[in-house]
Structure 1
């Protein structure tokens, strides 16, 4: 296996580490700000481009490509070095960002988001693995805390900046602000990160990557369209379910027979890694549910501005870095399990606040729930990465780190599709039963709630029906989020108290 070493000398490596860390944090900043700034801008984007029924595909398309490429990038970084693979990912991400800003329809935007996601798959796993490479064990908890906090710190600016750009300029700038961030990150990487790569001929598991992509795409189509445009018992849903099952079975068979599998199943035999990865899938559902649908509730139901909606997500972004920083110290004091369990408690508390939130509660209550979820994410995500990198050897660190990122991305992808499908289905059902406003209302009529001027032009009865339907459908979404939080907490209780550590 090709091995990625740090710098050519220990002294040089230590001197350059702060600059490498800064470049990595910029790359992570770029990926993190993309999530909250687009969530904040989406109501304005939908209002401009139309197509509310395609709302979740803007997130699902991005997350799908992110999810299915993260393992490929993790493996390639082990073979060819972290720097070139991360650079390629950033370049693809920036190309997608430029194109998204020029989108003229929702369909175009979704297509360009696929390109963005293709590049984004490299950022988190490779950047996190670099930290594991250049810092010693006793330093990783603290530094991974810094790195995890970037997702929160950057997102503090995301909602605020997204709201300002949407209200004052144009939503297209929310994609173009990535360009200087990506260029600065690449500059830092190529100036300060020097690797010595032992090159050997390797077999990349392209067949495994294809089968995994096929399975995830089929599952996501079922979750997005099932119950909305296709009946659950329709030939389309049944056919896609059969395709997904067959692709997953072939994927498992493929991974067992190849010498260098896309997903080496032996790392899952470590109990701590198995639990951490399953919980990461669950928390991926939670975080995408909050990021995607909370701004819609605040704008469409509470009738607040995009800026106010953005600041409810900012609360999560404040809680995340605070908890990530604290986690670095808690890991040394009370261990991985206790730190993770505390995070699980906070996830449940935040979800309960959202479930119990009435339409007239005001954005402060939404922000409190968001903040508690952020605390939970900061404690669990930092604990998992440090635990995984301490459990495996160097030779498996890249793919082990990528597997955890993969599971969270799968959670994001499936969560966006599942929760979006539930929201659309519940809203369509409600409108069909309560469409007595004198105006024909459909799922896409919810577009009108997200624009204050268009909302004022609607009859009062139509606004009432749409808001009631949106409240009901989003309340169902929050109940699903709470369920995943409870599942996460139960699994965290099963973590071993002491993890096996290898050099």
Structure 2
């Protein structure tokens, strides 16, 4: 592992201390409003579609943002090492602000999708940059504390997003979901611009254009295949197979380029280091499994337990709160129990939460489901901040951008795989169970219900979740005779419960794989450095002394 020593930095003056405070405030503001945008827009989507139309394109409002934000992450990390944090971060915020303004001005759904992609570029640059700069500002225990705080802010945005989005849509207009980013983004830009230095790597800057080109094609093809497969196109269609083949070819060429180029976007030699590989593997598998809970627990609570969408949000809130608390606690405890032990404990707690989710049934109370989510949040909180912290403590500042952004990148890729794979498991199990249990029952319905029976039977194979949304929606059920619903609803509920249990079991398998990886991790030692040691190591904050 490379361990180059950085040039010593001067001890901070009181002026630089003030600027560091401004910088942290700017980072927190930028992190909050960028993370909020990931959840706040979802609340406004029904209103946007009602006004603009284009229901068939609605998913692209999320997909376009996800494609660009995920793809740009490793590029942003490398550029931050080459060009300096300030130029890259401020550029990302400005792109995000411009994208937000354009989204608010969009005249149709197609324009909005394009502008969401632009916004995603800015968001993808911003998300890892905050963690990179925290890695610059602090070392040791202080770095752990602030990584936990920023992880907590990210969790807070997940709690606030839907509520804030709903309030803005009800009080003003859906366009203000995007316009609200402008004043907040401008404030964050000013604070960061005046307090962060523009220092960059010494010597000529060499961009890895072939690496950037092949990585973009490979990642975009992979994400498109995962997003469109099973929804827009059949998994075995030529379109999806073609996307996956293009992804494999492009990423293979990318790896070959990265092995020989002078300034690689993602140095292949990093994967030879067990710490780098295991940490990113843990993040990948935890994100892959974690999305099972985030996606399907609200669905379970709405369709099985029978609570409203807003009430199901309150079931998820305890997870976010416990995650926030233990993100901060975990940053302190790790110095007493060690990295490997804390990661193992956190992953075991997450696995225990997934096992508890497999026990959910129609009689489950909201309080019980919330307690399971609290356990899940505790586990995530113990693990998430460490994934970035360990990489930052293991590599020199010259590689801080690359290794930090890699952590974000693999977690985002894992989340995308999770949504796709667990969604596919859900649909396959649902279709199989519905064919076995519901279709024979539909054939026994009276003649006057024959058209409904035929339509429902056809939907079972193509879109089983549509069957759930129809037969488990109290408003829809009022349109059918009671004797009809009394026969079908118990069957549909049992089918959904069994399908979701399978999803949670599969998610648990991914979590257990991540747990095994913690046992293969070297016992990384984190040391709290004194101010003098930090100055000697050149790890004092890069703040302007203007």
> Which TM-score band applies after superposition, normalised by the shorter structure?
0.7 to 0.9
Counterparts of 1:55 and 1:451, CA distance in 2: 23
Residue 478 (str. 1) matches residue 481 (str. 2)? no
Segment of structure 1 superposing worse, 18-27 or 57-66: 57-66
Deviation string, structure 1 residues 223-265 (Cα, Å, up to 9, x no partner): 3444555444443343333222211211111111211111012
Q: Displacement of 1:124 after TM fit?
A: 2.1
Partner SS, residue 265 of structure 2: coil
Structure 1 residues not aligned, in runs of 5+: none
Greater mean deviation of Cα atoms: 57-66 or 322-331: 57-66
Matches of 1:484 and 1:478 in 2, distance apart? 10
Question: Are 1:496 and 2:522 counterparts?
Answer: yes
1:255 to 1:484, Cα distance in 2 relative to 1, 3 A: same
Distance 1:223 1:169 in 2: 35
| Preserved CA contact (<8 Å) 1:4 1:197 | no
Number of aligned residues:
502
Q: Which runs of 5+ in 2 are unaligned?
A: 443-448, 528-533, 538-546
Task: Quickly say closer, same or farther: Cα 1:343–1:163, change in 2 above 3 A.
Answer: farther
1:302 and 1:449 mapped to 2: Cα distance?
15
Give the 5 Å matches for 1:304-453.
304-427=307-430, 434=438, 436=442, 438-439=451-452, 440-441=455-456, 442=459, 443=463, 445=466
- Which of the numbers 263, 276, 279 marks the counterpart of 2:279? 276
Provide the secondary structure at the position in 1 that maps to 2:520: coil
1:119 aligns with 2:158: no
Does structure 1 conserve the Cα–Cα contact (< 8 Å) formed by 2:335 and 2:526? no
Supply the distance in 2 between the matched residues of 1:164 and 1:44 (Cα, whole angstroms): 13
**Matching of residues 285-296 of structure 1 within 5 Å:** 285-296=288-299
Verify the 8 A CA contact 1:99 1:112 in the aligned structure 2.
yes
Deviates more, 1:281-290 or 1:435-444: 435-444
Aligned: 1:67 with 2:70 = yes
Report whether the alignment pairs 1:145 with 2:148. yes
Moved more, 82-91 or 213-222: 213-222
Pairwise mapping of residues 226-245 of structure 1 onto structure 2 (< 5 A)? 226-227=229-230, 230-245=233-248
1:279 to 1:354, Cα distance in 2 relative to 1, 3 A: same
Q: 1:79-90 residue pairs with structure 2 within 5 A?
A: 79-90=82-93
Quickly say closer, same or farther: Cα 1:469–1:61, change in 2 above 3 A. Answer: farther
Q: 1:140 to 1:412 in 2, by over 3 A?
A: same
Residue among 150, 156, 160 paired with 1:157 = 160
Paired with 1:246 and 1:112, the residues of 2 have a C-alpha distance of 29
Once the two structures are superposed, the pairs formed by residues 123-202 of structure 1 within 5 Å of their partners are: 123-164=126-167, 173-197=176-200, 200-202=203-205
Cα distance in 1, alignment partners of residues 396 and 511 from structure 2: 31
TM-score (normalised: structure 1): 0.86
Q: Is the 8 A contact 2:84 2:201 kept in 1?
A: no
The more displaced of 68-77 and 265-274 is 265-274
> Distance in 2 between the 1:473 and 1:110 partners?
33
d(CA) in 1 for partners of 2:509 and 2:46? Answer: 27
Change (3 A) 1:307 1:330: same
Distance apart, 1:150 and its partner CA: 1.1
Contact 2:71–2:220, Cα closer than 8 Å, also in 1: no
Residues 195, 385 of structure 1: alpha-carbon distance in 2 compared, 3 angstrom cutoff: same
For the structure 1 residues 182 and 446, does the alpha-carbon distance in structure 2 shift closer, same or farther, using more than 3 Å as the test? farther
Contact kept in structure 2, 1:102 and 1:172, CA below 8 Å: yes
**CA gap 1:267/1:146 in 2 versus in 1, 3 angstroms:** same
Cα offset for 1:496?
A: 1.5
Partner secondary structure for residue 493 of structure 1: helix
Provide the residue aligned with 2:301 in structure 1: 298
How far is 1:476 from its partner?
3.8
Deviation at 1:402, TM superposition (A): 1.0
CA distance in 2, matches of 1:248, 1:104: 37
In the alignment, is the contact (CA less than 8 A) between 1:255 and 1:261 conserved in 2? Answer: yes
Q: Is the 8 A contact 1:153 1:317 kept in 2?
A: yes
CA distance in 2, matches of 1:472, 1:170: 41
Residues 377 and 177 of structure 1: is their aligned pair in 2 closer, same or farther, counting only changes over 3 Å?
A: farther
